[in-house]
Amino acid sequence: MTFNLTWLIIPIFLIGFIILIAFGVRSRLRYAQRIRDAQARGAFADMNLPIYKSRFRHLAILGLIGIFGLMLSMAFILLPWVDKNDTSLRMVAGAALVFAIICTVAGLLMRREIDRRL
């Protein structure tokens, strides 16, 4: 007599996914604690200098441009289903990719500036 155990794939996947999420949350909480400790000892006090303010302002604007560009690209991807408009999916996906790269680079540069002070 054989047993069909294929239904175990779903619970095993869910348990593995929950474990991965738990480790990810734990890592983020540890990083947030490091930032709080650095703030308590005054590691970010120099960020109010004009040279750093302008740098962070430019990174924030770059990140916002990337996010808004991604949202607009997603709207153009969803537009043909709503309006039956002919937009080139490749062109819109390419634009979304460019905006995603811009946003990712801005985020990585901002994290690098923060990590430098930890």
Q: What are the pLDDT digits (tens) for 82-96?
A: 666 666 778 888 888
Predicted TM-score (pTM) of the model is: 0.68
Tokens of 84: 């039956």
Residues in the chain: 118
User: How far is it, in rounded angstroms, from Cα 29 to Cα 59?
Assistant: 24
Structural domain boundaries of the chain? 1-41, 46-118
Percent of the chain with pLDDT over 90: 44
DSSP string, 44-71: TGGGGSHHHHHHHHHHHHHHHHHHHHHH
- Please, what is the average pLDDT of the chain? 87
Overall average pLDDT of the 28-46 stretch: 89
User: How far is it, in rounded angstroms, from Cα 50 to Cα 48?
Assistant: 6
- pLDDT tens for residues 56-86? 899 999 999 999 999 998 888 777 666 666 6
Count of other CB atoms within 10 angstroms of residue 66: 20
